[in-house]
């Protein structure tokens, strides 16, 4: 395999780099290609194609598959940092400025705020949070749900009870 990589590495790298612009993704793809070459080597028939032809066919096919997978992924846009958001920016469906919202959330228990940070700011799933914290998955889900209910109650008290916290409901 080492000899195969030394001989055909530049060929595979060239095929991949023509299609994949991200250097790290290209490196991963080249590794996957050589893994497939290793697994598929028994199918190579010298009467049909040379080694280089066989390997380039696998490389080309894998690169095209990778591109198609990337095109199916939704475009992700990063969230701005908290400091980049104007303090007066209203939260959709909530008649309160952002600083007041954060101040209200600071009154939640430390553990609830920690779960909020992991879930809402870091984008971790419930299962990932459970693994990280060592809590059962059901406990993580329950604590997040109770935290949201508690946050809603705090915000309603702060606004005098007249605030609509459900953006889907009509006033």
Token pair belonging to 116: 């909020």
CATH class assigned to 82-158: mainly alpha
**Whether the Cβ atoms of residue 68 and residue 25 lie closer than 8 Å to each other:** no
Comparing C-alpha atoms, which of 10, 29, 11 is closest to residue 20? 29
**Whether the Cβ atoms of residue 115 and residue 147 lie closer than 8 Å to each other:** yes
Listed by start position, the domains of the chain span 2-72, 82-158
Backbone φ and ψ for 97, nearest 5 degrees, come out as -80, 165
Compute mean pLDDT per 10 residues along the chain, 171 residues long, and list them. 85 90 89 90 87 90 89 70 51 59 80 86 87 90 89 77 47 42
Q: Which CATH architecture has domain 2-72?
A: Orthogonal Bundle (1.10)
- pLDDT for the residue numbered 167: 45
Which residue's entry shows tokens 């920690």?
114
Rounded to the nearest angstrom, the gap between the alpha carbon of residue 55 and the centroid of all alpha carbons in its chain is 32
- pLDDT for the residue numbered 95: 56
Q: Would you put residue 103 in left (φ > 0), alpha (ψ -120 to 50) or beta?
A: alpha
Burial pattern 122-136, b for ≥16 Cβ within 10 A else e, equals eebebeebbeebebe
The overall pTM is greater than 0.85: no
CB within 8 Å of 64: residues ≥ 6 apart: 19
């Amino acid at each position: 395999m080492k000899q195969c990589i030394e001989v055909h590495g530049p060929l595979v790298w060239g095929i991949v780099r023509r299609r994949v612009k991200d250097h790290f993704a290209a490196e991963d793809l080249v590794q996957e290609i050589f893994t497939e070459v290793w697994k598929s080597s028994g199918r190579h028939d010298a009467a049909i194609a040379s080694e280089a032809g066989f390997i380039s066919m696998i490389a080309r096919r894998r690169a095209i598959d990778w591109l198609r997978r990337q095109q199916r992924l939704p475009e992700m846009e990063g969230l701005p940092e908290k400091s980049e958001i104007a303090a007066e920016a209203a939260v959709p469906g909530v008649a309160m400025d952002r600083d007041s919202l954060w101040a209200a959330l600071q009154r939640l228990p430390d553990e609830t705020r920690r779960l909020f940070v992991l879930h809402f700011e870091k984008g971790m799933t419930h299962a990932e949070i459970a693994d990280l914290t060592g809590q059962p998955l059901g406990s993580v889900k329950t604590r997040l749900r109770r935290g949201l209910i508690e946050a809603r109650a705090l915000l309603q008290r702060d606004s005098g009870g007249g605030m609509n916290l459900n953006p889907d409901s009509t006033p």
